[in-house]
Amino acid sequence: MGKGNMSIRAVLCDIYKTLLDVGQPPADADQRWDKLCNVMLPQSTPLTLAEFTAAAEGIIARQHSVAKATGIPFPEIFWPAVAREAWPALASLNAQDFDDLLFEHAQLQRVVRLMPGAAAVLSTLAERNVCLGLVSNSQPYTLRELDAALVPAGLSRAMFASDLCFLSFEHGFSKPDPHVFRLLVARLASRDVRPNETLVVGDREDNDIAPARAQGFQTWSLRDGVASQATGNWTELARWLALK
């Protein structure tokens, strides 16, 4: 590659506001939630979207408090378990219906789409045998959201090496915990790839850029004005990587 980045052999991407653009919730979120619940749980006493959210937030706060008391500074919850506790009626759903409901619920929180320019960069990097990975504070529905965004662009989540994917819901802790990036340092080492040969792409200085840089990674921020080794959108990243 060019401009001093010949050494980049791996690229690790955040998901939200990096691979996936995040927009405002749909205006009819409450009505869509009511309809979804009436279809999937017609025999249950319904919860409004606001009631479900409030119940879940209380559970998350409790779980975070317990985890922090045990020495985990940046804990992560497992959303399916929180959702079942917040609304016990969800336990009556089969696995697929439960997964579908949580995915649809996520779509009521915000609208997501693949970031402009991301598909071309990812495709070219994969063609050039650059190792691709993910480093994201995320939940199981995130993977379905990513799939839904990648497939229309002719891409697959399989392009990201499973051993180079840190998804917080699988570990119980989240960025910016330095253990996130130390874990990836170890996994990259098994591929004989060093942190200074790896680019971390993210949108937040606190969660992505600073903790990655502290572990020796190169970084690229997708937000203008952030103090980073390099900053710009996906098209500018392509130029920096000499992909164009």
Of 212, 25, 225, whose CA–CA distance to 136 is shortest? 212
Task: Tell me how far apart the alpha carbons of residues 220 and 27 are, in angstroms, rounded to a whole number.
Answer: 33
Of 178, 169, 109, whose CA–CA distance to 136 is shortest? 169
Instruction: Write down the pTM of the prediction.
Output: 0.92
- C-beta neighbour count of 103 within 10 angstroms: 16
79-86 and 49-69 helices cross at what angle (nearest 10)? 120
Q: Are 221 and 228 in contact (CB under 8 A)?
A: yes
Say whether the peptide bond before residue 88 is cis (omega within 30 degrees of 0).
Answer: no
Task: Tell me how far apart the alpha carbons of residues 164 and 135 are, in angstroms, rounded to a whole number.
Answer: 8
pLDDT, one tens digit per residue, over 133-165 is: 999 999 999 999 999 999 999 999 999 999 999
H/E run at residue 181: helix 178-189
| Beta bridge pairs of residue 165 | 134
pLDDT for res 45 = 86
Task: Tell me how far apart the alpha carbons of residues 15 and 60 are, in angstroms, rounded to a whole number.
Answer: 21
Question: Low-confidence residues of the chain, pLDDT below 70?
Answer: 1-6, 224-231, 244
pLDDT for res 153 = 96
Q: Are 62 and 86 in contact (CB under 8 A)?
A: no
Say whether the peptide bond before residue 152 is cis (omega within 30 degrees of 0).
Answer: no
Phi/psi at 156 (nearest 5 deg)?
-135, 145
Task: Tell me how far apart the alpha carbons of residues 89 and 71 are, in angstroms, rounded to a whole number.
Answer: 33
Task: Tell me how far apart the alpha carbons of residues 37 and 140 are, in angstroms, rounded to a whole number.
Answer: 20
Of 158, 75, 72, 145, whose CA–CA distance to 115 is shortest? 145
